[in-house]
């Protein structure tokens, strides 16, 4: 059970798909981990209990950061929690593992909202405002031999994420998939998604994917 404050993103199928992928990745003992957009801290908790030695959890929501802190303290886990933009907070540091469940739902607004609950899922017209940032900057934050795990919907372009990670010098592939019925948010914008060609007419499900990128060179 995780403490979740009002307005904080509730762990859902994408969260647990990424948690499973993280566990299957068998992260090394003592690994340095960055949790991008920690929410309740589910991924940080999973990383810490799997043997990570240094976990940094960051979220732009103050309530989410507080929820992560509460869940870490309730379990006695040494998770560092920061409020802010994770990719800025983590700048100039290197990590063995980066996990990210960024906002990825396409919306009618050209850019993500700056506040409110919807910023946990709305990500611009293509759903890639944060996915693109993670894919571009993760290669710069990974230590030799490190890996990044990103979960998002096929609605916002799986091949594009793979291409970006490979362009950053990583070996990238899809390591997990899951078909999920549309939730309330996507059901409420079916017309927008159909008109934009993001789903087929009558489609009421999405495929969630976890993409893994590895920096294959090893430290000297």
pLDDT digits (tens, 9 = 90+) for 36-56: 999 999 999 999 999 999 999
Residue 118 lies in a domain: yes
- Could you write out the three-class secondary structure of the chain? CCCCCCCCCCCCHHHHHHHHHHHHCCCCCCCEEEEECCCCCHHHHHHHHCCCCEEEEEECCHHHHHHHHHHHHHCCCCEEEEECCHHHHCCCCCEEEEEECCCCECCCCCCCCCCCHHHHCECCCCCCHHHHHHHHHHHHHEEEEEEEEEEEEHHHCHHHHHHHHHHCCCEEEEEEEEEEECCHHHHCCHHHHHHCCCCCCCCCEEEEEEEEEECCCCCC
Residue 8 lies in a domain: no
CA 43 to chain centre: 9
Among 92, 44, 98, residue whose Cα is nearest residue 72: 44
Residue 35 lies in a domain: yes
How do strand 205-214 and strand 171-181 relate by DSSP bridges?
Answer: antiparallel
pTM to 2 decimals?
0.94
Residue 178 and residue 194: Cα distance in Å, rounded? 21
Residue 199 lies in a domain: no
Residue 38 lies in a domain: yes
- What CATH number does the domain containing 21 carry? 3.40.50.150
Residue 1 lies in a domain: no
Parent domain of 158: 13-181+207-214
Residue 104 lies in a domain: yes
Question: Is the pLDDT confidence value at 219 over 60?
Answer: no
36: tokens are 């991008």
What is the per-residue pLDDT across 6-30, written as a single tens digit (0 to 9) for each? 889 889 999 999 999 999 998 999 9
Residue 126 lies in a domain: yes
Residue 94: the pLDDT is 97
What is the per-residue pLDDT across 167-198, written as a single tens digit (0 to 9) for each? 999 999 999 999 999 999 999 999 999 999 99
Residue 149 exposure: Cα atoms within 13 Å on the Cβ side: 28
Of the listed ranges 68-72, 90-94, 206-210, the one predicted with least confidence: 90-94
Are residues 70 and 3 in contact, defined by beta-carbon separation less than 8 angstroms? yes
Q: How many domains does the chain have?
A: 1
Are residues 111 and 129 in contact, defined by beta-carbon separation less than 8 angstroms? yes
């Amino acid at each position: 059970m995780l403490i979740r404050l009002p307005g904080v993103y509730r762990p859902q199928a994408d969260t647990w798909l990424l948690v499973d992928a993280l566990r299957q990745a068998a992260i090394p003992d003592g690994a340095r981990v960055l949790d991008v957009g920690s929410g309740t801290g589910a991924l940080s908790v999973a990383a810490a209990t799997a043997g990570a030695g240094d976990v940094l959890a960051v979220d732009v929501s103050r309530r989410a950061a507080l929820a992560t802190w509460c869940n870490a303290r309730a379990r006695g886990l040494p998770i560092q929690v920061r409020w802010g933009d994770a990719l800025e907070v983590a700048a100039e540091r290197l990590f063995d593992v980066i996990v990210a469940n960024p906002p990825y739902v396409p919306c009618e607004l050209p850019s993500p909202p700056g506040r409110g609950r919807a910023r946990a899922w709305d990500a611009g017209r293509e759903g890639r405002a944060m996915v693109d940032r993670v894919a571009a900057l993760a290669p710069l934050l990974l230590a030799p031999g490190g890996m990044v795990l990103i979960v998002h919907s096929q609605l916002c372009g799986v091949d594009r994420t793979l291409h970006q990670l490979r362009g950053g010098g990583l070996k990238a592939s899809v390591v997990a998939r899951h078909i999920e019925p549309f939730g309330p948010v996507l059901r409420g914008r079916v017309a927008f998604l159909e008109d934009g060609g993001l789903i087929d007419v009558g489609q009421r499900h999405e495929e969630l994917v976890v993409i893994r990128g590895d920096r294959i060179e090893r430290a000297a």
